[in-house]
Amino acid sequence: MFEGFVDWFLRIFGSRRDIRLGIYGATNAGKTTLANKISMDFTGEPVGKVSQIPHETRVVQKKEKVEIKHNKKKILINLLDMPGLATKIDYKEFYKYGIRGKAAKKRAKEATDGVIEAIRWLSNVDTVLAVMDSTQDPLNQINITLLGNLEARKIPVIIVANKVDKKRAKPDAIREAFPQYPVVGISALKGKNLNGLYDAIAKYARRAK
C-alpha cells in the first residue's frame, strides 16, 4: 500500500524515471538492428548505424522517452544500445573489412573503451534484453558472464534469440542452454515476431529495486 502511494506520489510530481532498457550481447548479435527496429516502431527514428564490421557501436547509444504501446499497455523506456561485449579485440580482424593501419588500431581502441563503458552501465540499467545470435553456440563465456552478472544484480532479463530467419538458426539451443530465462525468438532484420518481444517487455520490464 505504501509502495503504491510512493508510486502515485512520484508519478504526480514527475520524478519517477522511465525504465532504462539496456540491450546487451556479444558483437554482431544484432543489438543495433533491434534497437533501431524498436525505436522505428514507436518513434519513427533509428538509434544508430548498423554494419557487418564488428564493433560498429563503440559508445552507448540512447533513445529516450520511447513509449511502447502494446495490448492496451504502455511502458515508457529509455532505450540503451550497448557496445558489444568481448574478451578480445584484435585490430588485425578489421583488415578483412578493408580497415587497415592507424584506422584499424583506432577502431580497436575505441572498441575496448566501448566494452568498458557497457560494463559500467550494468549498474544503471533496469531491465536487459540479452541479444544472442541464434546461428551461434549460445554457451559462450560472454553470454554466461552477462547472465550471471544480471542474476547477481537482480536485473530482469529477456533473452532475445535473434536471426531466426537464417537457415542455421537454432533458437531452441538457446532455450535449452538457459531454461531459467524467458527466451523470445525474433528476426530484428526482417521484423519477425517483434510482437512476441513487445509482449515479453510488457510482462517482464520493470525498474531496478
Partner 1 sequence: MKEKKFKMDFVSSETLNEKSQDKRIGFILSKVSDGSILVTDGVLKPEEEMELIKETMRKVDDGFPGIEVCSLKRQTKGVQLFMERVTDQTERFQTFIGNLRGKPAVKTSLRTGLTLIGPAKIIKKIKKNPNSFSVLTEV
* Strand pairing category for 61-70 and 73-81: antiparallel
Site residues for partner 1, window 180-209 (CB under 8 A)?
A: none
d(CA 93, CA 54) in angstroms, rounded, equals 9
Minimum CB distance to partner 1 smaller for 105 or for 192: 105
The dihedral over CA atoms of 45, 54, 52, 23, expressed in degrees to the nearest 10, equals: -40
181: helix, strand or coil:
coil
Contacting residue, 72, 74, 88, 209, with partner 1 by CB under 8 A: 88
The answer to whether residue 23 forms part of the interface with partner 1 (CB under 8 A) is no
Q: Are 66 and 78 in contact (CB under 8 A)?
A: yes
The answer to whether residue 90 forms part of the interface with partner 1 (CB under 8 A) is yes
The dihedral over CA atoms of 104, 105, 108, 109, expressed in degrees to the nearest 10, equals: -150
Site residues for partner 1, window 156-185 (CB under 8 A)?
A: 177
CA 182 to chain centre: 14
The answer to whether residue 101 forms part of the interface with partner 1 (CB under 8 A) is no
The answer to whether residue 122 forms part of the interface with partner 1 (CB under 8 A) is yes
The answer to whether residue 115 forms part of the interface with partner 1 (CB under 8 A) is yes
The answer to whether residue 86 forms part of the interface with partner 1 (CB under 8 A) is yes
Contacting residue, 24, 42, 91, 94, with partner 1 by CB under 8 A: 91
Q: Are 27 and 57 in contact (CB under 8 A)?
A: no
Residues within the interface to partner 1 (CB under 8 A): 85-92, 105, 108, 112-113, 115-116, 119, 122, 137, 139-141, 144-145, 147-149, 151-152, 177
